[in-house]
Amino acid sequence: MTYSCPSFSIEVPNEAVDTSTYSFVIPVQERFHPSVVIRREPLPMKKTFSEYTAEQVPRMKAELKNFRLLRGPEETAGRVVMSYEWGEGDAQFQQTQIYLDLGRSYYLLTLTQLAGSRVDHLPALQRIAGTFRPKA
């Protein structure tokens, strides 16, 4: 099977699973570039989309330093959205995650900006993410 994207194509076995990751940054005059990262992954075996997404907040609390949930998780029609901050000092981030159910896999869009940035880049990141349309 041939997999193609705008910057390359590759031949992979038919049974290969697409776990693509794409990252897009907004070029701004700061030391950190706000980004939208799009990742496709299979759901873990024997887990539903709802079960998997419900596990994410406790996992992040355990793994991310100074994790603070700002909003969500909110689930509607195969879509889960949550916003949170984590980190400390100059490396404190604000992220919004959008999970999209595809059946046995999902897309995860992660919007990232520095927490406390002079400019709020979240509206621009949300506009970008709002144009995302999965292809069959």
Phi and psi at 73, nearest 5°, equal -70, 140
Residue 10 belongs to some domain of the structure: no
Domain membership of residue 12 (yes or no) is: no
Mean pLDDT in residue range 60-76: 95
Residue 47 included in any domain: yes
Query: Residues 92-99: what's their mean pLDDT?
Result: 94
Angstrom distances, CA of residue 95 to CA of 5, 13, 47, 49, 115: 26, 35, 25, 20, 9
Residue 125: what pLDDT? 85
CATH number of the domain that 32 lies in? 3.40.1000.10
More confident residue, 134 or 76: 76
What is the model's pTM? 0.87
The DSSP symbol for 35 reads E
Domain annotation covers residue 1 = no
Domain holding 78, by residue range, is 18-130
Tell me the HSE value of 90 on the side-chain side, using a 13 A CA sphere.
Answer: 3
Query: Does residue 93 form part of some domain?
Result: yes
**Separation CA 34–CA 102 (nearest Å):** 26
The answer to whether residue 13 sits within a structural domain is no
Instruction: Tell which phi-psi region holds residue 116, choosing left (phi > 0), alpha (psi between -120 and 50) or beta.
Output: left
**Tally of domains in the chain:** 1
Q: Is pLDDT of 97 > 80?
A: yes
Using a pLDDT cut of 90, give the percent of the chain over it.
50
The type of residue at 86 is W
Rounded CA separation 24/44 (Å): 26
